[in-house]
Structure 1
Amino acid sequence: MSANKFTDEFKRDAVAQVEDRGYPVREVAERLGVSTKSIYTWQKQFSRPAKVIQEVDAQADEIRRLKRDLARVTEER
Structure 2
Amino acid sequence: MAATQKKIRWITDSEMSSIVNERARSVLNISGKTFIRNRNSGKYAKLDADQCPGIIELALLAPSSKIAKPSARKNR
- The interval holding the TM-score normalised by the smaller chain is 0.3 to 0.5
TM-score, normalised to structure 1, is 0.33
Greater relative CO, 1 or 2 (CA 8 Å, sep 6+): 2
Of Structure 1 and Structure 2, which has the larger fraction of its residues in helix?
Answer: 1
Look at both structures and tell me which one has the larger radius of gyration over its CA atoms. 1
TM-score, normalised to structure 2, is 0.34
